[in-house]
Structure 1
Amino acid sequence: MSIKEQATKSVFWSAIERFSVQGIQFILTIIIARILSPDDYGLIAMLGIFLALSQVLIDSGFAFALVQKQKRTETDYNTAFYFNAFGSLFIYIILYLLAPYIANFFEEPQLTIITRVLGINLIIMSLGIVQQAKLTIALDFKHQAMASLIAVIISGGIGLWMAYSGYGVWTLVFQSIANNFLRVCFLWVFSRWLPCWKFSYQSFSSLFRFGSRLMLTGLLHELYSNLYSLIIGKFFSASDLGYYNRSYTLAQFPSANIANVIVRAVYPIQCRYQDDMEQLRSMFMKYMRISCYVIFPFMVTLFVLAEPFVLILLTEKWLPAVSFIKILSLAFVWDPIMKINNNILSVKGRTDYALKAEVIKKVVAVILLVVSVPFGVTIMCFSLVLYAVADMVIIIYFSRKVINIGYCVQFGGLLPVVFLNIVMGVVMYGITCFPLSVFAKLLIPLVVGWSLYLFLSWLFKMQEWSIFLSLIRRK
């Protein structure tokens, strides 16, 4: 199978998993959010930083290390499995003991039991890390998609029943546990790999040497990503955190999912050709262009139509989230550029560069956060936009060292896409200025804007349009 065929098949099934699963989760989120209160989401968001950091420590970059390693052995797989499993148990015990202190910090007594129950997810997820890595190495995204899809459908049904039955915040807790448990069970079935007792210090050292830098990078990233929730939860109300958390999730949804599809699918293929610089450079620019071509119009749509979107889908009680969604969409629009640049550092084994970049970025991030906190949640969201710009500048500086594609080439290649999106956004905004009903303000700009985007792509024979069509035709 050629590189193009491998990439196309991987992207296709990765996209199926990402968009079918995330699409269903998105619909479930909309339905459940109409039933639950912003306070319920705020309580779960308060625990985000503790669970996210714990998960990074448990994985320790071993999943990426297994995929990146060229000559893997059964000992490598078993070493990673037992490290993840026992590590998760150790970290869960710590989290269990810290639960009362977390509850006291946020002045929310019920967080003690919520932390202890939701923390079970850490143990469950650790048991599927190696199985997923094996499927990724085999470019088997089809079975990963099936595992995720079945899990989200069943757990979604559980969540809906609990929400309508009045279980409140526990709806989110048990929906999450059910989803992770079912997904891990199916990963075991589809990977057809069972651990045996093999643990090698030499294997551990090899995996940890590569993975530790990714772990530190991940810790810094998750610490910063959840720091806003931590601070908002501490100094503002649970409702404010609920509005911010849902806005963050919605604004991140298009960019994070599409970019992750491309990065996740292409990573194992790029690793196979990590010594072929010409091939890597070609793939790098191609997938950056196609990801931005697809992501940018989603973010423009979200920015322009945030208000009718919230009113129709989430109801008026979520209206305060509109301004947050608009601002955060400006931050997440640049996600594909950052992720694809960061990914190439892992492909080339330069996790030292990734770590250095992350340290510099987070120093900038903390400064922006500290300055913005006294001015309220809205200004804190604006600081995320400034951070996104700084993130791009810093990560491209380091990726240029390994692939020799700098600012001018990357941004210059995206100018046609940016122009199309500006035209689309202006037209959509113009339509919303007319005195229309809420439904019309959502539907008419949506149809006209996207039709114009596709028409201009065809008219100007956009390279990204041709690539996009070729990917579809191959499937």
Structure 2
Amino acid sequence: MGQARPGNPGVLPGCTCANPACTSRCRFETGTPMSLKHHFGTSTAWMSAAASGNSLISFVIFIVLSRLLAPEDIGLVAFALIVVELGKILVNAGLSQAIVRHTDWDNRYAATGFYLNLILAALVTLLVIFLAAPLTAQLYDPRAKQLLQVLAIIFFLEGVKAIHEGKLKREFDFRTIALRTVAGSLLAGALGIVLALNGFGVWALVWQQIVNQLIVTLVTLYAARWWPGWQFSIIDARTLVRFSTPLTLAQAINNIASKVYEILVGLLLGPAAMGFFRVGGRALFILQDILLKPFEQTLLPALARISDNEARAQNTLRVMRMSAYITFPVFFGAAALGPEFIRLAFTDKWAESGTVMTWLALGIAPLVIGYQVNAALTASGQTRKVMAIASVAFALNCLIGLVLVRYGIAAAAAGFALRTYLTIFCNMLFFKQAFHVSILRQLGSVAPTFSAALAMFILVLAGKWLMPPHWSPGVQIVLLGSAGACCYIAIMSLVFRQETRHILGESAALAPARAKPVINKLQQWLGFI
């Protein structure tokens, strides 16, 4: 990471601390040639901006398409995309993360990963075309077979770009990753709407997915400015497989675990119910992309550059506190106003999805901890622990899902929320084992924001009971949302004042230069500086 200063062993260049005890913090804040702190803050800002733009675009497109298409159409493609998302994980096989984590860029190592990805892409494509598609047709709906077979082209495109994407991430080129995501979403979404308006029905959604993947792949290949030579090392292949296999299994299990309720809803209740369930979760998936994914994607490359386990743990907790401060009130607010939001955005045709959104939103808060823990364990090379956490989540999801899904989509969403709270202690236990940080300390890093967000949730629910029923959903969202935000800010500023001071200070230190004046103004307004 850096050389110690002469006369002050253990303190890194660029570190302003005189006390070697703060070295763990400085290891996150200093690097070569630019500080990791700067890289992390700038990268997170880019990913947040991209996620916001991409999510806004994709959400508007999804609303338009959901109004043009029937619930069965949405449900058919939603189920097919579950298979596609799982296949993409198997194609990537954790090799992109291995490239990010590798100490130095090595052309032979990267080329070996590239050809492994192509082999995996071919295998997964054949598996889906000849096994998964017929099986889906038999268990779910015959119309899904052809959809899956056409969507299989996505696996080849994913395999071609995986190592190139790893190169961009290890170089902290999240600006390119951000821009390609927005471009792909916008162009493919526009195509999807045109096709839907011209009567293509479910195929509008299929071609939207394929074109989006094609654009992302082409931009990634161009931006990485690298192409593998005819190099393949058996030694490197073994190293890559040894690192990536547990991680791939963990990601696959995690993906299936997170989709168990959708899968069971589709299999037990049918495509229409699947469509309602997907709509109920769509806004939340977008909020996750905006608020959680940027931290998840940028934390791994940052932690991978830190060699000291204590430093990794401290900086993981710091990111956990900051992300909880931002995300908890948003998701608890979404839970309180879910039914009103669904009626406003998707019309009363999709009103059944409102309760689904409420339960799913309540279950997202624990994922804030889970994402950061997984990033820290992956950066430390402890992928078996990541796989163990995923296995526990999968088992609980299957158990709870099989019990509750038969009672309807609202019960299925409630089961998802229950599972996330049960598995969070597993995440914290493995974090404790890996980094020697007590569970109480981990809980303490998010307890103030959780308490304030929960109080806000209760206040907004009470306000809904008092509000005249004839008021439109839009008016209710604006009034109750504003009241909830004021409640959260007041509790954090008055009851948990020290926590807010600390988080704003951290945010100001991590934020890009253009954002610092805004944060400083907020600190002055709250009386912290």
Q: TM-score per shorter chain, which class?
A: over 0.9
The reply to whether residue 132 of structure 1 matches residue 165 of structure 2 is yes
Compared CA separation, residues 117 and 380, structure 1 to 2 (3 A):
same
**Aligned pairs (5 A) from 1:193-232:** 193-232=226-265
Among residues 431, 439, 450, which one is paired with 2:485 in the alignment?
450
Among residues 177, 180, 189, which one is paired with 1:144 in the alignment?
177
Give the SS at the match of 1:280. helix
Q: What corresponds to 2:126 in structure 1? A: 93
Among residues 95, 105, 109, which one is paired with 2:139 in the alignment?
105
Give 1:420 deviation, angstroms. Answer: 2.0
Give 1:253 deviation, angstroms. Answer: 2.9
**Aligned pairs (5 A) from 1:306-325:** 306-325=338-357
The reply to whether residue 371 of structure 1 matches residue 410 of structure 2 is no
Task: Please give the TM-score of this superposition, normalised by the length of structure 1.
Answer: 0.95
CA distance in 1, matches of 2:46, 2:52: 10
Compared CA separation, residues 183 and 35, structure 1 to 2 (3 A):
same
**Aligned pairs (5 A) from 1:8-407:** 8-98=41-131, 99-106=133-140, 108-273=141-306, 275-407=307-439
CA distance in 1, matches of 2:193, 2:409: 30
CA distance in 1, matches of 2:452, 2:78: 36
CA contact (8 A) 2:128 2:149 kept: yes
Compared CA separation, residues 464 and 376, structure 1 to 2 (3 A):
same
Q: What corresponds to 2:25 in structure 1? A: none
Compared CA separation, residues 140 and 174, structure 1 to 2 (3 A):
same
Give the paired residue count: 473
Percent of matched pairs sharing the same residue? 22
CA contact (8 A) 2:112 2:231 kept: yes
Amino acid at match of 1:183: V
Q: What corresponds to 2:504 in structure 1? A: 465
Give 1:331 deviation, angstroms. Answer: 1.1
Give the SS at the match of 1:39. helix
Give 1:258 deviation, angstroms. Answer: 1.8
CA contact (8 A) 1:252 1:332 kept: no
CA distance in 2, matches of 1:334, 1:174: 34
CA distance in 2, matches of 1:263, 1:249: 19
CA distance in 2, matches of 1:4, 1:425: 34
CA contact (8 A) 1:128 1:187 kept: yes
Compared CA separation, residues 96 and 166, structure 1 to 2 (3 A):
same
CA contact (8 A) 1:62 1:207 kept: yes
The reply to whether residue 440 of structure 1 matches residue 475 of structure 2 is yes
Compared CA separation, residues 79 and 354, structure 1 to 2 (3 A):
same
Give 1:456 deviation, angstroms. Answer: 4.5
CA distance in 2, matches of 1:326, 1:308: 10
CA distance in 2, matches of 1:425, 1:227: 27
How well do the aligned residues superpose, as a CA RMSD in angstroms?
1.9
Amino acid at match of 2:167: K
**Structure 1: any 5+ residue segments left out of the alignment?**
none
CA contact (8 A) 1:158 1:175 kept: yes
Amino acid at match of 1:333: A
CA distance in 2, matches of 1:86, 1:252: 31
Give deviations 1:360-386, integer Å, cap 9, x for gaps.
332233222222244333322222122
Give the SS at the match of 1:194. coil
CA contact (8 A) 2:392 2:423 kept: no
**Structure 2: any 5+ residue segments left out of the alignment?**
1-33, 515-529
Amino acid at match of 1:441: Q
The reply to whether residue 412 of structure 1 matches residue 444 of structure 2 is yes
CA contact (8 A) 2:65 2:196 kept: yes
CA distance in 2, matches of 1:426, 1:49: 34
Compared CA separation, residues 438 and 121, structure 1 to 2 (3 A):
same
Amino acid at match of 2:436: N
Give the SS at the match of 2:351. helix
CA distance in 1, matches of 2:223, 2:37: 25
CA distance in 2, matches of 1:278, 1:112: 50
